[in-house]
Amino acid sequence: VAGAEACGALKNIVALGAGFVDGLGGSGGNTKAALLRVGLLEMTAFCATFFHGIDQGTFLESCGMADLITTCYGGRNRRCAEAFAKALPKFQTKDSQACDKLWSDIENKMLDGQKLQGTLAAKEVYALLESRQLLDSFPLFRTIYEIAFNGKPVELITDGIYVKPPTSLLSKL
């Protein structure tokens, strides 16, 4: 159960990254596919790190890979992150307050009262990884957070995709 619930939260973070890729335009399907691959790897590693006894097969079930694909191609977290990626360069100040306001404005405009889960999950996961000094082990989650809340350029999304995770992380899988 813990694996399925964690997949449900973590896929929304990856969907933010997918929206950032889509917002860049012209990145192509390979970039988004690479993001999904690394996203699934980090989801699996996160669960292996923080939840004992997770069935690795969970990630290939509907609650894992299938839900990740669906969310990264059509979900509200992806759509709103695409809008964020297109709007962020227009902001003069790109601090955390400006980013939070932009997310709030996008939610209000696009979601008709619904809320994004990806932004909340990204904040919580980042805080946990930072407190355990594990940010370098999860480069995609870190990069998504830094774009979403520190105003880093959206183009840096590829930094989280193409950085090879540390061997210590891969050994947990």
The catalytic site residues sit at 11
The HSE-up count of residue 87 (CA atoms within 13 Å, CB side) is 18
- Structure tokens, 53: 């006894």
In angstroms, rounded to a whole number, what is the distance separating the alpha carbons of residues 76 and 8? 14
In angstroms, rounded to a whole number, what is the distance separating the alpha carbons of residues 52 and 37? 23
DSSP per-residue letters across 103-130: HHHHHHHHSTT---SHHHHHHHHHHHHH
